[in-house]
């Protein structure tokens, strides 16, 4: 009888150890917040790592090291792919990068391709998010981003003035403090894809105000306004020379 | 008291079953033969019957369990999955899948080095395959992603093509599908040839 109890105790301890190990894993991953379509979803209210990272003092040297993971797809220059497969990151506002990165790894923004690279075991915690965001902001931007067909730019300009300026700015420069992304010089095909996903509710961390704002846009309107946006030239001091290669990764 | 004793014993048997998970490797080996897997995938799980069938020895266990579950559920329904694999998996429980996968994974590791002069090597790197599947296909970054090193060439081409066209569209193929337009058929053939020859 005694032996049985001893054996049982051992078995119970072993089982307890197993379940603890099983629980420890997901704890390392940031928790998902409320999403577009959920009751009481509020844009930018998920807090968590975003709040933490934006108050940390960034270390550019570590930002470079973290960025090495990103460079596989977004390229060492942060210029992305002109066909829009991967967006340009260079010159983007730090708070925008922090929010999107925190959202992607908390599964608030679905991005299956990028997801594993965004996880803490790949790039580190909130400090690393702050570091890489600061590094990305300093990268000079692509002088030749992917653009649209160029056939309806006047119409696109008018639509932009009437609908987008209020948040994204006269020049598509966005607003760091408000987490509004810089749009100028972003690849046309990437803009088209994200815009479509925002319109359909597929981008679940989207701003409901924007979802509403663009519901009435026809395909022709969409193409025209995003073509116009992709062709806005960022300020000269933010653009890199043609063919520039990032010496940090040579 | 006798009742208590037998209850305690019954509990022990159950707990013993949980604690003895590593011993399932032996069961996995028996299952691999008993369920008929060896007929197509080879006795050693790395000598498939025909080109186009996958080698399984050393593959990530989690990846394999996910594939078996998805084929059984009809979610992975490309190529030979629905007509050849599915009927066999109908007779395989999830516990047995896990045992099979653990056994097959234990036949690894999948390692080796690719030919750095092969034109597929550069494509493997520039088309972003390396980001997820690791150097020469030997270091997938997630346990849910497959090793590619040394895999059957025709199998690699078939699967990558089916993912590109969304003919294979289950599970985590959604992480690969968005980059597949970067690769032409000719480039894919070169990448597959490079990977198949990692030794």
Q: Average of pLDDT values for A99-116?
A: 96
What is the DSSP code (8-state) at residue B137? G
Residue A12 has pLDDT above 60, yes or no: no
Residues of chain B with CATH 1.10.760.10: 23-108, 111-199
Q: What is the pTM of this model?
A: 0.83
Q: What percent of chain A has pLDDT over 90?
A: 85
Residue found under tokens 């359909």: A200
Nearest-CB residue to B142 (from A18, A73, A116):
A116
pLDDT, residue B24, reads 46
Q: Would you state the CATH architecture of domain B111-199? A: Orthogonal Bundle (1.10)
What angle, rounded to 10 degrees, do the helices at B2-19 and A2-27 form? 40
Contact B132 A85 (CB under 8 A): no
Contact B12 A7 (CB under 8 A): yes
pLDDT, residue A28, reads 66
Can the peptide bond before residue A204 be classed as cis, meaning omega within 30 degrees of 0? Answer: no
Give me the residues paired with residue B94 across strands: none
Contact A116 B141 (CB under 8 A): yes
Q: Name chain B contacts of A72, Cβ cutoff 8 Å.
A: 128, 130-131
Residue A175 has pLDDT above 90, yes or no: yes
Question: Tens-digit pLDDT profile for chain B (199 aa)?
Answer: 444 555 554 544 444 444 445 544 459 999 999 999 999 999 999 999 999 999 999 999 999 999 999 999 999 999 999 999 999 999 999 999 999 999 999 999 999 999 999 999 999 999 999 999 999 999 999 999 999 999 999 999 999 999 999 999 999 999 999 999 999 999 999 999 999 999 9
Kindly state the helix (H) or strand (E) to which residue B105 belongs, with its residue range.
Answer: helix B94-105
Among B68, B72, B41, B34, smallest CA distance to B55 is for B41
User: Which residues of chain B are at the A interface, by a Cβ-Cβ cutoff of 8 Å?
Assistant: 5, 8-9, 11-12, 15-16, 18-19, 128, 130-132, 141-142, 145, 172, 174-176, 178-179, 181-182
How far is Cα of residue A123 from the mean position of the Cα atoms in its chain?
15
Write the pLDDT tens digit of every residue in A23-68.
Answer: 334 446 789 999 999 999 999 998 889 999 999 999 999 999 999 9
pLDDT, residue B38, reads 97
pLDDT, residue A184, reads 95
Query: Which tokens belong to B186?
Result: 């000719």
CB neighbours of residue B69 within 10 Å: 17
Q: Would you state the CATH architecture of domain A49-242? A: Orthogonal Bundle (1.10)
Residue found under tokens 């994974």: B105
pLDDT, residue A29, reads 79
Among B30, B67, B91, smallest CA distance to B146 is for B67
CA distances from residue A90 to A45, A50, A83 in whole angstroms, order as listed: 26, 20, 16
Query: Which tokens belong to A202?
Result: 């597929």
pLDDT, residue A10, reads 46
The long-range contacts involving A233-238, CB below 8 angstroms and separated by at least 24 positions, are A233/A184, A233/A185, A234/A91, A234/A141, A234/A173, A234/A182, A234/A184, A234/A185, A238/A91, A238/A140, A238/A141
pLDDT, residue A27, reads 47
- The CATH code for residues B23-108 is 1.10.760.10
Q: How many CB pairs below 8 Å do chains A and B form together?
A: 50
Among B178, B174, B198, B186, smallest CA distance to B76 is for B174
pLDDT, residue B7, reads 53
Residue A116 has pLDDT above 90, yes or no: yes
Rounded Cα distance between A183 and A151, Å, is 20
Contact B128 A72 (CB under 8 A): yes
pLDDT, residue B6, reads 52
Write the pLDDT tens digit of every residue in A118-166.
Answer: 999 999 999 999 999 999 999 999 999 999 999 999 999 999 999 999 9
Contact B131 A72 (CB under 8 A): yes
- Among B3, B11, B14, B178, the strongest candidate for a mutation testing the A interface, having the largest count of A CBs within 10 A, is B178
Contact A8 B8 (CB under 8 A): yes
Asked if A168 and A174 touch (Cβ cutoff 8 Å), the reply is yes
Residue of chain B minimizing CA distance to A19: B18
pLDDT, residue B26, reads 55
């Amino acid at each position: 009888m005694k032996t049985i109890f001893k054996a049982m105790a051992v078995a119970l301890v072993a089982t307890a150890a197993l379940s603890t190990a099983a629980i420890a894993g997901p704890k390392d991953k940031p928790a998902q917040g409320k999403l577009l379509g959920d009751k009481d979803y509020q844009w930018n209210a998920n807090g968590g790592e975003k709040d933490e990272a934006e108050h940390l003092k960034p270390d550019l040297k570590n930002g470079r090291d973290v960025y090495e993971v990103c460079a596989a797809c977004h390229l060492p220059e942060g210029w992305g792919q002109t066909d829009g497969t991967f967006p340009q990151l260079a010159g983007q506002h730090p708070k925008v990068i922090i929010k999107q990165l925190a959202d992607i790894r908390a599964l608030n923004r679905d991005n299956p391709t990028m997801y594993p690279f965004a996880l803490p075991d790949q790039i580190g915690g909130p400090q690393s998010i702050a570091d890489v965001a600061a590094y990305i902001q300093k990268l000079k931007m692509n002088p030749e981003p992917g653009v649209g067909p160029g056939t309806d730019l006047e119409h696109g300009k008018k639509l932009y003035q009437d609908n987008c300026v209020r948040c994204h700015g006269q020049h598509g420069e966005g607003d760091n403090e408000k987490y509004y992304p810089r749009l100028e010089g972003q690849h046309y095909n990437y803009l088209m894809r994200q815009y479509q996903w925002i319109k359909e509710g597929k981008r679940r961390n989207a701003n409901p105000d924007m979802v509403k704002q663009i519901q009435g846009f026809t395909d022709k309107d969409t193409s025209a306004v995003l073509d116009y946006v992709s062709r806005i030239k960022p300020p000269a001091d933010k653009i890199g020379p043609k063919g520039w290669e990032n010496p940090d990764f040579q | 008291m006798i009742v208590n004793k037998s209850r305690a014993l019954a509990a022990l048997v159950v707990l013993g079953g949980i604690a003895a998970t590593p011993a399932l490797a032996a069961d996995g080996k028996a299952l691999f033969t008993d369920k008929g897997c060896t007929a197509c995938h080879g006795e050693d799980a790395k000598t498939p019957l025909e080109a186009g069938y996958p080698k399984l020895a050393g593959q990530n266990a989690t990846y394999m369990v996910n594939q078996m579950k998805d084929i059984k559920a009809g979610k992975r329904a490309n190529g030979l999955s629905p007509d050849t694999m599915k009927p066999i998996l109908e007779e395989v429980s999830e516990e047995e899948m896990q045992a099979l996968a653990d056994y097959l994974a234990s036949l690894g590791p999948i390692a080796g080095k690719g030919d750095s002069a092969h034109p597929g090597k550069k494509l493997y790197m520039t088309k972003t395959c390396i980001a997820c599947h690791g150097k020469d296909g030997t270091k997938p970054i997630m346990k849910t992603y497959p090793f590619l090193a040394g895999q059957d060439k025709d199998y690699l081409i078939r699967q990558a093509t089916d993912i590109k066209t969304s003919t294979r569209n289950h599970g985590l193929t959604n992480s690969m599908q968005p980059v597949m337009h970067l690769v032409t058929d000719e480039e894919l053939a070169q990448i597959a040839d490079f990977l198949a020859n990692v030794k």
